[in-house]
Homo-oligomer: A and B are copies of this chain.
Amino acid sequence: MSEVERPPPRLPWDPPDNFKKRVPDGDNRERLVCDDCQFVLYQNPKIVAGSVVTWEDKILLARRAIEPRKGYWTLPAGYMEIGETTEQAAQREAVEEACATIEIDRLLAVYSIARIGQVQIMYRARLASPDIACGPESAEVGLFRWDEIPWENLAFPTVVWALAHFHQTRGVSDFATFSNPSGDLARMWPPRKPAGV
């Protein structure tokens, strides 16, 4: 088979062709059902847990060593696993991506990215010590002052959102959890420094 004829690569979590869409008994939505064994694949939104982590006046960022957005800077965050709390997931991701031990301060934001079925739960946290290093998914880690943040090289719009929302809480111990922004901050693709921060 030539390169042109080759089908797109199947990722291991892509449902194979034997899954067909139909409405299972007792449900009111189409789900993917295996033709062979009738297993119903319920696909629900996935949770990403992460944090804006500071050491003194600096913010921890990691440069991605993996796709998507390889080479771009992000906050320590990733898919939550069964058996942990959202706080534990955020702490684990900081260890995995930046070898960082963090102390969670409080819930910063809950963002819904409806199009891709993702909910991001972001905490405000502090580094327990300035010892950070690359984990397997990071090419580089660093502590950035606010005026050093590489805005145009951030990985995702939600990284911009979390940084901008975090900035509003500086020196404030009591604040309401943020949700999806509106206005200019809602449109951060490609990433850039938002107005007024």
Contacts and interface: CB of A to CB of B under 8 A. Distances in A.
Copies held by the complex: 2
Majority secondary structure of chain A interface residues (helix, strand, loop or mixed) = loop
A36 B121 CA distance: 36
Interface in A1-41: 12-16, 18, 24-25, 29, 33-34, 36-41
Contacts of A79: 44
B106 A107 contact: no
Size range of the chain A interface in the assembly: 35 or more
Contact of A12 (B24, B45, B179): B24
Given A29-B81, A47-B45, A112-B86, A176 B174 contact: yes
A39 B15 contact: yes
Given A36-B36, A176-B106, A119 B86 contact: yes
Contacts of A115: 83
A161 B87 CA distance: 18
A168 to B, nearest CB: 14
Nearest to A83: B114
A65 interface: no
A36 to B, nearest CB: 7
Contacts of A182: none
A175 B82 CA distance: 29
Given A37-B16, A40-B13, A110-B107, A179 B87 contact: yes
Interface of A: 12-16, 18, 24-25, 29, 33-34, 36-47, 79-88, 106-107, 110, 112, 114-115, 117, 119, 121, 174-177, 179-180
13 contacts: A12-B39, A16-B37, A29-B81, A44-B81, A44-B82, A83-B114, A83-B115, A85-B112, A86-B119, A87-B179, A107-B177, A176-B176, A177-B177
